[in-house]
Structure 1
Amino acid sequence: MGKLQEFNITFTNNKVVYGPGESMSGAVKIRTGTSLQYKAIKVFCQGSCGISTKMNDSSWTLEEQYFNSTLSVADKGILPPGEHSFPFQFLLPVAVPTSFEGPFGKIVYRVKVAIDTPRFSKGYKAQKPFYILNMLNLNEVPDIESPSYAVTTKKFSYLLVKTGTLMLKTCSDLRGYVPGQVIKLATEIHNKSGKDTGCVLASLIQKVTYKTKRAIFDLRTIAEVEGAGVKAGKHAEWREQIIVPPLPQSVLAGCSLIDVEYFIQVSLKSPEAAVTLPIVIGNIPLNLSPSVPVPTSPGPSLVPGPAAA
């Protein structure tokens, strides 16, 4: 580090997560063993998004900047040996997206500091990330507390000459959840054939779209549960639960390069059949009223209840 024995950035109260429109503050800490001549000491507060067509590549194909603020905390002078502290404060913009990091892009926020030294002298730079959480209130999403339904019917052949029909129906108790909340699923399977089905699988899937010239779709199974198949000619009801783990919220409001979506997929193997239920992941949960009746359409048998032990 040359003449500098310490050169770092600290945030007030060690706070690293902020909301849009908040004031953030901190200090640049410098300790020198000898005198250091400088032309200026500047602090930068920056927010941007970058995406790439290559995984884990920081050479972005497309970028967008949300803000870039500069504060000069010291003009031309000499730092004597010892410890020095330069406070800073920035007001974050009101409309900025939540921090996000994925394999093909990220939304990042950071504070940087640069010591500009005279010509032919070594300059010094440091940086520290911080994070923005733009709250998504599920109570503001239309129809979010209604159950979500999906159904599919599939005709298939087996044993070369025989045919059968399979109907798969599923329902979630809500259309939006927060991390730590339980997704309750109710599924009906009608196996109108002479062949047993394969297992049934319920998956919570994240879909991230990176809007490069040719969009890149990154699909990840976040959590899943498995149930037994259905015997030939039988009807079965399957009730299961999935706990939502810590996840980025749906909809990165203010970002035009990255979209985040979630859905529940219930699928069968042999024959292959699947239905999907779009859901919203937020960070302010629904204020559910116990007096609100649970819709029964299209069928009361699809209203989720507690998972079977």
Structure 2
Amino acid sequence: MVVTCEISFDNNRYGTFYAGQLVEGCVTLKSDKPKEVEAIVVKVVGYSLTKWSERQLTSNKLFAGREDYLSTIVYLVGSEENNNRHIIEAGVHTYNFACQLPYQCPSSFEGRYGCIRYLVKVLLVRPWKYNQAYTHGFTVLKLMDLNFETPQLRVATHSEGYRTFCCGPCKTDPLKMELHLPQAGYVPGQRIPVTVTVINNTHLAVSELRLCLVMLVRYYSIKPEHSRVERIIISRAKGDSVLRQCTRSITLHMDVPATPPTCLEHLIQIAYHLEVEAMVKSLREQQLMIMPLTIGTIPLAVSGIVVQQPPRRSAHYEAAGPASGQRTTDELPMVTSIATIPNGLTPSSADIAPPKYEESKFTVRGNINEEELYAFGKNEFAPLYPVYSIPNPPPVLSSNSRNIGYINQSFN
């Protein structure tokens, strides 16, 4: 006897939703012969899991955590409260389902030491034998609209640092680096123009500049309370050398690939920063600068303003971390009237085309059936993230940018 199950979503071919949206879909069961069941159940669940082990003295210690964001159960046929049996006749049977996503849902993520998953499960309940499970993953995205985050994301950012090498009589004059960005908030698909000015007043040459866009993922465990950080480089670029006693300004472009948005809450936290490193010849010491960045799901408007943002989290929730133990669900309003966020919350179509949705190349694929003993269908799942094709911001020119390379007469 063959029973197949197809799970699809209404008007959403990517299976990608924003927190606060209504998830609507269809379950199609096909059977070549009559099948007896106690119940047919549809479960829509969302949760985060963390799990890893660390070597401590002579044994491995296990760290784990779990947060649940969503759990709904709908009986399509029968119930598990009694022992009644029902017959699914041969043929095709179609059932509809719907589920409201809470606003506080974090973005889907599959990582090395944990995951944030959202699943639709169809269970054929058969206590006298075994339950058959069909699982379909879908992507949920936190509504990270750069237009409504802190105003600092819009303005140009600047950082500078000094570094001397060796010590005592061998101590060098300072090597100064200036880092300029046109804004601090970006979305996947954009290119970040990074202007780096190196004022090298040392007697050592800078062999090259290395730029990295880094994703930092912090995993929290609950029992016992602990955390660990995973560092993932998602984009690289290299700049030319800077001779000794010279100044040079270089603009390099960093691509932002498909990647989950910034999230500084919940059991799994994701942050981004830009690393710029000056590689100094003949020395193991280097000059490193780091600048934090924010990756969102809705880009800064090119012209015009996007539509109204849903209600924000309260300050009380922002202050509560995974280990605080505070439950603030009652302070998180549920969005019930967003409709189609991917189109409705982006700038007008004249400014920005709708995004494509792509899998991240820098995270893993998860096994969405690992909790089911008798699972059918695909096991692997990877979230999809919006990737835009929009104009890139122009680079910020520093005071030295017009001098592509010149000999230092003095050092200020």
TM over 0.5: yes
Counterpart amino acid of residue 103 in structure 2: V
1:54, distance to aligned residue in structure 2 (A): 4.9
Cα distance in 2, alignment partners of residues 43 and 303 from structure 1:
61
Is residue 142–residue 297 contact of structure 2 (8 Å, CA) maintained in 1?
A: no
**Residues 1:276 and 2:290 aligned together:** yes
Q: What do residues 80-132 of structure 1 show as CA deviations (whole Å, max 9, x unaligned)?
A: 22222222222222321111111111110011111122x43343221111111
Q: 1:167 aligns with which of 158, 161, 176?
A: 176
Shift of 1:45: 0.5
Q: 2:4 aligns with which of 3, 6, 13?
A: 6
Structure 2 regions of 5+ residues with no counterpart? 55-61, 79-84, 305-393, 403-412
Contact 1:37 / 1:78 at 8 angstroms: preserved in 2?
yes
**Letter of the structure 1 residue corresponding to residue 128 of structure 2:** F
In the alignment, is the contact (CA less than 8 A) between 2:206 and 2:242 conserved in 1?
Answer: yes
User: 1:198 is paired with a residue of what secondary structure?
Assistant: strand
The one-letter amino acid of 1:49's match is S
Distance 1:232 1:276 in 2: 23
- Checking the alignment, whether the CA contact within 8 Å between 1:50 and 1:60 is kept in structure 2 is no
Matched, 1:112 2:126: no
User: Are positions 1:225 and 2:253 aligned together?
Assistant: no
Query: Using the alignment, how far apart are the partners of 2:139 and 2:38 within structure 1?
Result: 31
Structure 1 residue 86 corresponds to structure 2 residue 95: yes
> What amino acid sits opposite 2:399 in the alignment?
S
What is residue 301 of structure 1 aligned with on the other side? 399
Q: What TM-score results when the alignment is normalised by the length of structure 1?
A: 0.85
Q: How does 1:57-206 map to 2 (within 5 A)?
A: 61-75=64-78, 76-117=85-126, 119-142=127-150, 143-157=152-166, 161=170, 163-206=172-215
> What is the CA–CA distance in structure 1 between the aligned matches of 2:191 and 2:278, rounded to whole Å?
22
Looking at structure 2, the residues matched to 60 and 31 of structure 1 have their Cα atoms a distance apart, in angstroms, of 42
* Residues 204 and 224 in structure 1, CA contact (< 8 A), matched pair in contact too: yes
For residues 176-228 of structure 1, give each alpha carbon's deviation from its aligned partner in whole angstroms, at most 9, with x where no partner exists.
Answer: 11111121111111111222122111211111111233321111111121112
Query: What are the superposed Cα offsets for residues 123-170 of structure 1, whole Å, 9 maximum, x if unpaired?
Result: 322111111122211111221111111111111139x84633211111
Q: Secondary structure at the match of 1:157?
A: coil
Structure 1 Cα separation of the partners of residues 121 and 9 of structure 2: 12
Q: 2: CA distance between counterparts of 1:38 and 1:276? A: 59
Aligned to 2:36: 37
Question: Residue 302 of structure 1: CA displacement?
Answer: 6.9
d(CA) in 2 for partners of 1:166 and 1:214? Answer: 38
Residues 18-44 of structure 1: per-residue CA shift (max 9 Å, x gap): 122222222332222332222211111
Aligned residues of 2:209 and 2:278 also touching (Cα < 8 A):
yes
Instruction: Describe the SS at the equivalent of 1:215.
Output: strand
State the one-letter code of the partner of 2:274: I
User: Corresponding residue for 2:351?
Assistant: none
Q: Does 1:210 align with 2:219?
A: yes
Q: Aligned pair in 2 of structure 1 residues 303, 77: CA closer, same or farther (>3 Å)? A: farther
Distance 2:303 2:247 in 1: 34
Give 1:140's aligned amino acid: F
Alpha-carbon distance change, 191 to 287 in structure 1, aligned in 2, over 3 angstroms = same
Q: Give the 3-state SS of the residue equivalent to 2:260 in structure 1.
A: coil
* Aligned equivalents of 1:170, 1:279: Cα separation in 2: 13
Residue 14 of structure 1, CA deviation:
5.6
In structure 2, what is the Cα distance between the partners aligned to 1:81 and 1:205?
53
Q: Greater strand share, 1 or 2?
A: 1
What is the count of residue pairs matched by the alignment?
290
Give the unaligned 5+ runs of structure 1.
Answer: 305-309
Amino acid at match of 2:22: S
1:266/1:127 CA distance change after superposition, 3 Å: same
Q: Secondary structure at the match of 1:111?
A: strand
Contact 1:135 1:284 in 2 (8 A): yes
What is the DSSP-based 3-state SS (H/G/I as helix, E as strand, rest coil) of the residue aligned with 2:399? helix
- Aligned-residue sequence identity (percent) comes to 24
1:60 CA drift (Å): 7.6
* Paired position in structure 1 for 2:48: 49
Report the Cα distance in structure 1 between the residues aligned to 2:145 and 2:401, rounded to whole angstroms: 25
Is contact 1:157–1:164 with CA below 8 Å preserved after alignment?
Answer: no
Q: Find the residue that maps to 2:164 and give its secondary structure.
A: strand
Instruction: Give 2:68's aligned amino acid.
Output: Q
Q: Which amino acid aligns with 2:146?
A: L
Q: Aligned pair in 2 of structure 1 residues 145, 302: CA closer, same or farther (>3 Å)?
A: farther
Moved over 3 A (4+): none
Deviation at 1:175, TM superposition (A): 0.8
Residue 71 of structure 1 aligns with an amino acid whose one-letter code is: V
**Aligned mates of 1:14, 1:189 — CA distance in 2:** 49
RMSD: 2.7
How far, CA to CA, are the matches of 1:17 and 1:161 in structure 2? Answer: 59
Mapped partners of 1:230, 1:210: distance in 2: 39
Q: Aligned runs of 1:244-255 on 2, under 5 Å?
A: 244-251=256-263, 255=265
Return the alpha-carbon distance in structure 2 between the equivalents of residues 29 and 264 of structure 1. Answer: 47
Instruction: Tell me which residue corresponds to 1:307.
Output: none
Which among 257, 269, 276 is matched to residue 267 of structure 2? 257
CA distance in 2, matches of 1:180, 1:248: 12
